[in-house]
Amino acid sequence: MAQIRPYRASDRDAIYRICLETGLSGKDATHLYKDPLLIGHIYAGPYGTLEPESAFVLEDEAGVGGYILGAFDTHAFEKRLAAEWWPRLQAEYANPDGAAQDLAYDDRMRWLIHNPSRTPRRVTEPYPSHLHIDMVPRFQGAGWGKRLIDAWLGAMKARGSRGAHLGVGFANERAVRFYRTYGFIEHERLDAPYNMYWFATTLNS
């Protein structure tokens, strides 16, 4: 029987694995990376390490197969990343030459480690919290995504957040449909070179 529970430090390897297995617009990206940890260093690891209280996992008898990770205060979290997360990785991984969009997958992640994105204040001011959600195929299409978001938004609201946002690429059409169906609004659309949406939702008191 599957259950949603709070993240534990022992879940670290699982969230890295799930991040890789869903890293190609929701599909398995394992074959694309020579270093299987790179994508997790950016999109999973920092949440489990720096803000485990804002993380939940989805687990069944086969193990952890889904997560929802995020930050209560995105602006403060990105400051912590700059001070506590990126420096170690920047020392470990060289910054590749070239523009990000022209790089192979591993080098693109290395570039992001040295050039981390910052969420614009026009997004974080009205919607200060943010989330990432991923599930392996055995959990998809069974309502678990909605349950994970319900649990996470409820936790953020209980802590006093007034709103939450997330970013999703145009190519991840299934996720875009899911967020729209859930009730997120399209806060902003960014065309090339970003090719992504900012979706958001208000958490009323």
- Between 172 and 84, the more confident residue is 84
User: What confidence category does residue 137 fall into, taking pLDDT thresholds of 50, 70 and 90?
Assistant: very high
User: What confidence category does residue 194 fall into, taking pLDDT thresholds of 50, 70 and 90?
Assistant: confident
pTM for this predicted structure: 0.94
Q: What is the pLDDT of residues 85-129, one digit of tens each?
A: 999 999 999 999 988 888 999 999 999 999 999 999 999 999 999
Task: For residue 106, give Cα distances in angstroms to 30, 70, 99, 138, 156.
Answer: 11, 23, 13, 27, 33
Domains contained in the chain, CATH given: 3-156 (3.40.630.30)
Nearest to 71 by CA among 83, 79, 63, 61: 79
